[in-house]
Structure 1
Amino acid sequence: MAHDLANVLGDVGPLLFYLAVWGLVFAGTALFVGVFIPFITGDSLLFAAGLLTGTHPELSIWVLAVGVGIAAVLGDQVGFWLGRRFGRPYLTRRGGRWVQAGVRRAERFYELFGWWSVVISRYIPWGRVFIPPIAGISAMRYWRFLTANIVGALSWGVLITVIGYFAAVNPSVRPVAYIVAGVVIAASIVAGIRAWVLDRRSRRREAEETAEGAR
């Protein structure tokens, strides 16, 4: 990923490099690109962009990181309004069985965690794509969604990008930066597993209640 971004930077220069990274982050949620290529629009992209910025003095980490955060917020806003405007059929048309399974997981995740689901989902590949439109479909109040969106998108965008930057520029900080990046990724995985476990328990409980009611 870092090698590919270096090629982009060499070909187009700093401004278009920023726009390319921001555009991918925005498209990952607003245009559902993250469903099909999560590693090109998610954590790997941000970490690689931060690494590259640390080795190219013509790039500014704060311009990159703040722009990533804003692009992430705007992408989620588009997803939220699409869900509110077009409802559940909007997600039903998104594709095959794998996509629909992700939609169902996100719906259950939203039911379980509410406001926090919007924050946490930014660190989960399928969550960051599906939670915003589901929040819109569920008629979550806009200002409530906006606050969760800002907290989740800005913390995710700025944190991972800056970690990548410090992993490149400061040898003494590099091991810590890699550890923090690993913790963030591990936390994303744990959050996803926890949501899956809670979903399984809830489904099992519903099935048992249905069976008891049928007796």
Structure 2
Amino acid sequence: MSVVKKAKRVGSVSKDATWKKLGFLPAFKEGKVGEAKKYRALCIHCQKCQSNTSIDRLIIHRKSCTKYREDLTEELGAKLEVDAPESMKTELSTDASDPAVTPSNIEFSTTSLLDKLLDEDESSGRNPETTLVSYLTDLDQLVVPPSDANRLQKDLIKAETEYLEAKSDYFTKMNEIAELKRTVTMLEAKKTQLEIAKLRAECE
């Protein structure tokens, strides 16, 4: 389902509630002398104000906010530490064969935590609207994953290289054609000179 359709369905949720759900607070920025204060959305994670307060833009910022991912990772660690049984904690602390934490693991963990938190929030009955939950669960579709971005970058470089090679071949061919035209012109000039010499000889 497109983001536009979802935005229409969220109309029954107040703006403040929607912003809070996405992790933003209303903020005002002082304008120039004589100008009214400018309405902004303040990210509670990175403390940056967003001048574009549309839901689509706020969701895109939420996905790309590095501090947001760090906070989710910390929250995941805290929840796992609290919820895990004591025996499991001992195994986790003593098992040296566990893989090391990598950026890909953090990415997977934060996404899983987000889904889990949304499920808990929906089942708690605090917010009967499910459209906002749909917004958050579709975050991964709004921003191109790093792997896809790298692939697209490589494809772009490859296409540009092929274009420049074709352009170089084109100018090479044009140069060859110009050389042939020059040779033909010189031959025609020589032929004309020979014809002139022949006519003069006949006149004598």
Q: Which has the higher strand share?
A: 2
Do they superpose with TM above 0.5?
no
Q: Which has the higher helix share?
A: 1
Instruction: Give the TM-score of the pair, scaled to structure 1.
Output: 0.25
Q: Which has the larger radius of gyration?
A: 2
